């Protein structure tokens, strides 16, 4: 954050300045004035950094809020903001937080991951990457699932880079993170309600507009609520090739999570009907994980099959297998190619997959 951060902010953030300036550190987590953790190389480390007092920390957090035109005080005890340089900040003040002001800063990485980087970091195999290219080229609808900070958005960014340059892509996000390189990209961002709770624009509202703006593809940053139902309906009415991310701990859980989110829309829809919608809307689940050694990988690619007896069925196309833990702590293993996708023959006809 530091190069673009206003000087007064840097002043307030002096105790953590060295972490803000260190590009190897991806997150800074402050749990009250005397407890600061950092994430380096995918792993959390405690530090000896400390703020002078709780009021000093709270003032720093309030100033971050102020710098982006927001308020953090007793009446507005939570802040979710993006700083001008792209860093994301979430803060909560006492008494909601029990240990003093709590702040999480996700630093903006100037360098976004591309397909080559995923290979270089061992996050996917060349075959896995070829599979994902095929999935996107064939206009399959993709959900990227995974835990917090597992690399979902980064993978979505890579998937979106496989979209052909002549397609019209509509991007909807809560906070702009994706960086699509194509020519014909139209991006939208939601808006938080003002201090009186007015004027908020949600992903649901943006989907309403997007569907009327002739999209070839919808790319939605993250599904976390009722917008899931709008997305499912859009996908089932012919917006093939759309993609999004969702928080889930396993590929199958991703589908259940979509159901739960769709139910949050408040629209009454029988579970059986909803499940049928999910199964027909989502073609492929790409599951990401942060492994115990700190590495982030695409640990599974699964195809969503038709319901069987009202239950979801997944066909595993690719999966990471951990073999052993090396002396240096790194996990060794391999990406295994599993079943062929049901669309393999068609992909070969189109020249999108090499012959058998």
Ligand X SMILES: Nc1ncnc2c1ncn2[C@@H]1O[C@H](COP(=O)(O)OP(=O)(O)OP(=O)(O)O)[C@@H](O)[C@H]1O
Q: Work out how close the CB of 317 gets to Mg ion at its nearest, in angstroms, rounded to a whole number.
A: 23
145 touches ligand X (CB under 6 A): no
Residue with tokens 């702040």: 103
Q: Select the span of 35-43, 117-125, 151-159, 299-307 touching Mg ion (CB under 5 A).
A: 151-159
Residue 118's binding partner out of Mg ion, ligand X, none, with CB under 5 to 8 Å set by partner kind? ligand X
Instruction: Single out the residue of 15, 100, 151, 241 in contact with ligand X (rule: CB under 6 A).
Output: 151
What are the angstrom distances between the C-alpha of 125 and each of 95, 157, 269, 337?
Answer: 47, 17, 40, 10
Residues of the chain by 3-state class (helix, strand, coil), percent to 5: 30, 30, 40
**Closest C-alpha to 240, from 284, 299, 305, 195:** 284
Q: Select the span of 76-84, 132-140, 147-155, 236-244 touching ligand X (CB under 6 A).
A: 147-155
CB closest to Mg ion, residue no: 153
**Closest C-alpha to 169, from 156, 154, 184:** 184
- C-beta atoms surrounding 79 within 10 Å: 20
Reduced to 3 states, what is the DSSP secondary structure of residue 112? Answer: coil
Instruction: Single out the residue of 153, 157, 160, 295 in contact with Mg ion (rule: CB under 5 A).
Output: 153
Q: Mask: binding to ligand X, 270-299, rule CB under 6 A, as x and -?
A: --------------------------x---
Q: Work out how close the CB of 285 gets to Mg ion at its nearest, in angstroms, rounded to a whole number.
A: 16
Backbone angles phi, psi at 112, to 5 degrees: -90, 155
146 touches ligand X (CB under 6 A): yes
Q: Work out how close the CB of 41 gets to ligand X at its nearest, in angstroms, rounded to a whole number.
A: 9
Q: Are 230 and 265 in contact (CB under 8 A)?
A: yes
171 touches ligand X (CB under 6 A): no
Binding-site ranges for ligand X (CB under 6 A): 26, 109, 113, 118, 121, 123, 146, 148-154, 296
């Amino acid at each position: 954050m530091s190069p673009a951060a206003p000087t007064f902010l840097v002043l307030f953030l002096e105790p953590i300045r060295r972490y803000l300036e260190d590009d190897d550190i991806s997150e800074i987590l402050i749990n009250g004035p005397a407890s600061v953790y950092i994430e380096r190389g995918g792993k959390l480390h405690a530090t000896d950094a400390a703020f002078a007092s709780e009021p000093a920390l709270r003032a720093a957090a309030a100033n971050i809020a102020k710098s982006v035109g927001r308020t953090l005080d007793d009446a507005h005890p939570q802040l979710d903001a993006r700083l001008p340089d792209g860093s994301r900040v979430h803060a909560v003040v006492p008494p909601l937080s029990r240990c003093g002001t709590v702040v999480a800063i996700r630093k903006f990485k100037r360098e976004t991951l591309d397909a080559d980087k995923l290979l270089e970091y061992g996050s996917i195999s060349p075959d896995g990457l070829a599979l994902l290219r095929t999935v996107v080229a064939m206009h399959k609808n993709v959900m990227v699932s995974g835990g917090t900070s597992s690399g979902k958005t980064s993978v979505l960014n890579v998937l979106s880079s496989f979209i052909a340059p002549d397609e019209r892509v509509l991007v909807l996000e809560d906070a702009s993170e994706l960086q699509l390189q194509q020519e014909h990209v139209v991006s939208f961002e939601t808006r938080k309600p003002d201090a009186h709770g007015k004027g908020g624009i949600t992903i649901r509202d943006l989907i309403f507009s997007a569907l009327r703006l002739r999209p070839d593809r919808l790319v939605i940053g993250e599904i976390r609520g009722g917008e899931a139902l709008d997305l499912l309906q859009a996908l089932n009415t012919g917006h093939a090739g759309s993609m999004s991310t969702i928080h889930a701990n396993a590929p199958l859980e991703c589908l259940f999570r979509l159901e739960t989110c769709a139910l949050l829309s408040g629209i009454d829809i029988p579970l059986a009907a909803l499940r049928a919608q999910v199964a027909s809307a989502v073609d492929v689940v790409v599951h990401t994980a942060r492994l115990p050694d700190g590495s982030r990988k695409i640990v599974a690619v699964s195809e969503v099959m038709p319901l069987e007896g009202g239950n979801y069925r997944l066909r595993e196309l690719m999966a990471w297998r951990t073999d052993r833990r090396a002396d240096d702590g790194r996990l060794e293993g391999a990406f295994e190619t599993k079943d062929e996708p049901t669309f393999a023959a068609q992909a070969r006809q189109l020249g999108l997959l090499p012959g058998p």
